[in-house]
Copies of this chain bind each other. A is one copy, B any other.
Amino acid sequence: MTETVGKKRAPVRTRDEKYDERRTQLAESALTTLGELGYARTSLREIAQHSEFSHGVVHYYFNSKADLIVHCVRYYKTKCSRRYDGVIATAATGEELIEGFVDTLVETLRNEAPMHRLWYDLRGQSMFEPEFREQVAIIDGLLEDMIWRIVTRYSELTGAVPAFSPGTTYAMVDGLFVKALLEHVNGTADALENLREQAFAILPALFRS
């Protein structure tokens, strides 16, 4: 099916590619709706209504509602966790690395709070619904790896030695982020500054001098 190449030279999008494009197109649309209402309170009809398709299409591209949210969150978090790679590659000093990391962290909290609360919603539901657990573990691993790349890069730049395991380090930073997210969603004005301050306060403590 893929070798239509003979006639049309290069069909810009093959069948599967078009299928995947629609999938992520739907996922991106669903992401905003899910991020606004949460998993339980968002219906597939609501998702379709905020897209340019009808509600049957969702089932054509995703096996179930559970499939949809998992795909959405994993899609976003993969993209999100890569956002720090630039900082890691560019930073020439430890301070610069930390600055860039905290900046990105604060900015994603400011601009994409709905996506993050959706992730924590999914992770929370995975504690009740076994169906979610495998994918949640994968996403969690994504984030843990991202944090650890920051930590090891900082170690390379400054010679400081990580004081805790990757899992412990991630858990602490994540706890901080959750707290900031709760405050920010709550309308607390200085949630962003707080996160910045707290991050700067914590990060040095993650290493042995």
Query: Could you list which residues of chain A lie within 8 angstroms of chain B, going by C-beta atoms?
Result: 36-41, 117, 120-121, 123-129, 133, 136-137, 140, 163-165, 167-168, 170-176, 178-179, 181-182, 185-186, 194, 198, 201-202, 205
Contact B128 A164 (CB under 8 A): no
The interface residues of chain B lying within 8 Å CB-to-CB of A165 are 198, 201
Copies in the complex: 2
- A133-B186, A179-B171 are known contacts. Are A202 and B164 too (CB-CB below 8 A)? yes
Dominant SS at the A interface? helix
The interface residues of chain B lying within 8 Å CB-to-CB of A202 are 164, 168, 172
Contact A117 B124 (CB under 8 A): yes
Contact A171 B167 (CB under 8 A): no
The interface residues of chain B lying within 8 Å CB-to-CB of A38 are 125, 127-129
Q: State in angstroms the CA–CA spacing of A54 and B39 once bound together.
A: 29
Cβ-defined partner of A182 (8 Å) among B36, B37, B123: B123
Q: Can you list 17 pairs linking A and B with CB atoms under 8 Å apart?
A: A36-B128, A37-B128, A40-B40, A40-B125, A121-B124, A126-B182, A133-B186, A164-B198, A165-B198, A171-B178, A171-B198, A172-B172, A173-B175, A174-B178, A174-B179, A175-B175, A175-B178
